[in-house]
Structure 1
Amino acid sequence: MPVSPPPQRRIYPWVVAALAFALLLSDYMSRQVLSAVFPMLKGEWDLSDSQLASLTSIVALMVGLLTFPLSVIADRFGRVRSLVIMAVVWSVATLMCALAASYEHMLIARFFVGVGEAAYGSVGIAVVLSVFSPRLHSSLSGAFMAGGSFGSVVGVALGGVIAVHLGWRWSFTAMAVLGLILAALFRAVVTEKRLDRYAVRDESSAVAAAANVAKIRVPISTLFTNSAVWCAYIAGGLQMFTAAVLLSWTPSFFNRYYGLEPASAAGVAALFVLLVGTGMVVCGVITDRASRNNPSNKWLSAVAFCAIALVCLGMAFRIETGGLQLTLLAIGAFFSAGTSGPTAAMVAGLTHESVRSSALGTLTVANNILGLALGPYVIGVLADSMGLMDSLALAPVFYVGAIVALLLGYRVYPHGLRKLAAQSARYAQQPA
């Protein structure tokens, strides 16, 4: 039977989740505030769309390259310490963006924003999941990852307003100061000892109980020997392609095709980004309910979310501007990243807790390389030659690949669970 948490654990885990979520908001506010000032930078520095896209994609690229090694370090040497260092680095780098005098300076500053943000998502969600029951993991994963969208909303909307009234440099400065304050607060409240005291261990199986999962440490190689986990990695990355495009290019879309001023375009775009985040939360809750008695239903729920986004967004960017287009965009945006919570829960459920940050870090690598880095850049390059609208119409095609990966994952999921149990039993017999 699962271990029943003592009464006091109900408060502290939610405090941890709230602080981790607040830092994730800061993470994406610092990352996405750039989108709000795209028109200003384009005019001031005479930048092309591909150059603008590179300022966004360099962050995601660094996240993709560094997430895994930094997640491994966090698993071995302390997740809390790692999270605080990351927040300080990305906040200072965001302040460097405010001081940038040219495209090259901004690109370097954005490089370091990516370095700081690299493993926050994977390590942060691992910390949150460690103090909650597995039956809430899809909901929590969806809500936590939705912090990226909510942070993007605030970053784009607030950044646009500040840029119009005080100048674009103050937009970056505000995000940097907020990040430093939250890093200090997190360090004061969350510690490794407290996390260990409130940790929830799932000992529902005889294998896990006999193995004493709290003390086992399995090799990093186990993250890549389970075919079901690979399907979750690939599906998660591909479904983020179009969601990343929406996060980066909707302000420019409304500026160019609906004739809105930069601040107004950022405000309208923020509403659609808010739908992305809300959808991640709601889809996570739906998935937990649908899979309560059958965990494999997570895969089928994710397939449904991808299919809805594929149809709605695929139609939206191929019709004329107006009410119907906006309606389809709204529905598509809501489901565009709905698979995020389910895929994170799948990865967490198919990997051992001693390497969970590394596992979620691998998912983050896939999300960034296949989605957050690739999506905005590819669309930016295509927009230079074929126009933004036509290039946006191609983005939803990537959901087809995600659906294929999810269906394959659904088929091999039972084998993946058996393999995890065998790994736990095997390494329980070896010295920690």
Structure 2
Amino acid sequence: MLKSLFGHRGDAAPAPATPENSEAPLPATLGFVGHQPIYTARHELVAYEFAPRDAGHRNMMAAGTLNRHDHLLLQTLENLDIFRLLERRRAFINLSLDALDDPLLPSLAEKRAICIVSPAENDDALTAALPAIRALRAAGLSFALEPALFPETRFSPAVLDVLFAEMNFLVLDFSAQTEDLLEPLLARLPQRYPHARWYARNVNSMEAYEVSRRSQGASERFVLFSGPYLTRVPLRHGSGKVDTGQLRVMEILRLLRSGADNEAINAQFKLDSVLLFKLLRFINSPANGLSRQVQTLDETLLLLGREALFRWLSLLLYTAPREDGRNRTLLERSLWRGRFMESLGRAQGNNRLECEHLFVTGMFSTLDALFEQPLSDAIAPLSLPPTISSALVDGQGLFAPYLALAFSLEKGDSARAAAIATRLGGQPEAVNRLQLEAMAWAQKVATEGG
């Protein structure tokens, strides 16, 4: 685990190829591909929805251009090797019905991909797509659609009934639809298609969340959620849930940051036998490959070093037991941000200390959610360097653009990500590769850390 937690990776990204028939002015790649995390009702991270920079303009594209756009998206994701990197996650990909004959699509059937299909022009186009959907489903591919985009004023109920019956998931997008439109769908569709599970997308308020939970027949079928509400917590100044063990870890982190001697650090560990046991168990884990058992704190500090101990303790903050899986989700998100920012800084030529501080900035960016208090209060005991605290609290300073880029990619705001990355000198292919490698690394470390 030492190698996973403290090692580095530097794989080069293969150059995405361009579609064969490219008479329309499409780019060589789709640029920055955002990833929206998708959770269960127990806050477990189980999937991502991938969307390119121009995702909002897909419905305005001509059919031929849209087909090539979707081919380019599939090719970009294949070149990024997302299914190898995200071996424990599923991927939602938005595609047009005309793209169902794309030669890259059958290979996704065994890779946990879920295609969210866009509307076609008319009933005939929907009917023509059904054989391809059935064949791909038989091969293992899953399908989803957003019912609000398939109104009965445009398509016949009989054709929609056949199409909806082939869907594994139905999607409700709370960013684009009103409650008045969504509630009628929930009043009839769950009973009509009981096999389908529901994905609530862009849930950004308690009211939106309640719409998906209170409708008869729908509450037990909503299994996936995305949006800021899922991880938002009420902030209570000075009264967050910081238990004794977390306070001890925070104090040792403060001592490490302030350059305290080993004796002071040893004294804190000796006050918490459970924490000391966890540290010795960690250092003696078979994964670390030591030739003999380490039995003292002095030896542990010598072998680990202060930076590695700081990282291990940072991870430990998030591993307190919690039934709904929220802490594990926060841990994985923190690790992703830290690893991504550190890797980007290293790619930009920042020195070792700056890269280490970038990791800490990302890692501590979710302490407000973990402790349920404002971030300025959560980090106050740590005596962090000004470059870190300024980025976290004020969104200012040397590290702020790196953190803002991570936020933009998480939210799927690829246009803003492109603007920030341009300021940092990052290219789309390199940033996409770094974010996906960071996601895979965070997933692995969070699983081992549990």
**What range describes the TM-score normalised by the shorter chain of this pair?**
under 0.3
TM-score using structure 1 length: 0.25
Structure of larger gyration radius: 2
Structure with the bigger percentage of helix: 1
Structure with the bigger percentage of strand: 2
Greater RCO, CA 8 A, separation 6+: 1
TM-score using structure 2 length: 0.24
